[in-house]
Every structure is written in C-alpha cells, then in structure tokens.
Amino acid sequence: MFDKLINEMEFNRFGWIAIILLVVGCLGGLTVGMGALESTFALIAIVIPTMLTLSLLLAVAPMKWIAYAGIVCVGVDLLFFSYYLAA
C-alpha cells in the first residue's frame, strides 16, 4: 500500500512537493509560535525534522525519503502543538 503511494508520489512529484512544503512549513511555524521559543529543547526538536524535510525537498531527494521525513516532522509538530495547546 505504502509502495503504491510512493510510486504515485514519484509520478506527481511537483504537486506533492508543493503540498508537503505548505504543510510542513506552516505547521512547524505554528508550533514554534505556540510556545517553542521559550524552550531550547522544544525548538531544537521541532526545527531539526522541519529543516531536514525542507532540505530533502530542495535537494530533490527520492520521494520515499521525503515521505518518511514529512511523516516524522508532522508527527513531532502535532505532538508539540497539542502539548502547547493544552498547556
């Protein structure tokens, strides 16, 4: 199932790049704005996966790498976002 999605992502690379760029960039910025500026650990934990994903997009890496990095990045961002939303 995931391999089929990766093949479809590879075929429609430029559309997926735009979607991933928008989601990862905006969600990372919102998460940092919610309260990660006050904690160095949280800022590092959010910025490293976000910049890794954006760097892979810029480097035109294989879509499998970009998909894994994007999933990890969105997961970390949602985890911290929900923490700062509840606090």
Determine the pLDDT at residue 65. 93
Residue 73 has pLDDT above 90, yes or no: yes
Determine the pLDDT at residue 3. 83
What is the C-alpha separation between 39 and 41, in angstroms, rounded?
5
Residue 35 has pLDDT above 90, yes or no: no
**C-alpha separations of 80 from 16, 17, 31 in Å:** 24, 24, 7
The model's pTM: 0.86
